[in-house]
Amino acid sequence: MPDYSEKVMDHFTKPRNIGEVEDPSGVGEVGNPVCGDMMKFTIKVKDDRIEDVKYLTFGCGAAIAVSSMVSEMAKGKTLDEAMKITNKQVAEELGGLPGNKMHCSNLGADALHKAIENYREQEQVSAG
């Protein structure tokens, strides 16, 4: 077992917000070329805020902990605030990740940002 922080273990063993939101406002999917793992975020947006966020992660323990942490960090934030969440911040919030697992944190914020971009694209289409 690599050297995981307590917070990583906590989010890995008790992941928060797992699943898919119903009738999502935006969907973001990313794959990790290093290991082939996948992460899918769905968000529900209301008044420019992330009202609900869920994810499905097909990946290692660190990736699961990362997605759980991202979902907690993003919930209730405005879209602009959520766009500013970085993969580095996520890893920091988790109390760090072992060096060989840093790549796992790269999926988290990327998938969230993709879901926000997906939402914004749809808004443009329906507004335009």
9 binding ligand FES? (CB under 6 A) = no
Q: Which stretch binds ligand FES (CB under 6 A): 10-18, 57-65, 89-97, 114-122?
A: 57-65
Tell me the catalytic residues: 35, 104
104 touches ligand FES by CB under 6 A: yes
- Smaller CB distance to ligand FES: residue 17 or 32? 32
Cα–Cα distance measured from residue 48 to residue 44, given in angstroms and rounded to the nearest whole number: 10
Give Cα separations from 40 to 3, 58, 98, 109 (angstroms).
Answer: 26, 9, 23, 11
For 78, list phi and psi in degrees, rounded to 5.
-70, 165
Residue among 27 and 102 whose Cβ is closer to ligand FES? 102
Which listed residue (15, 24, 26, 59) binds ligand FES by CB under 6 A?
Answer: 59
Chosen residue from 37, 73, 114, 116 binding ligand FES by CB under 6 A: 37
CA–CA dist 106, 15 (Å, integer) = 18
Q: Are 116 and 28 in contact (CB under 8 A)?
A: yes
Strand pairing partners for 31? 38
- List residues near ligand FES by CB under 6 A: 32, 35, 37, 59-60, 62-63, 101, 104, 107
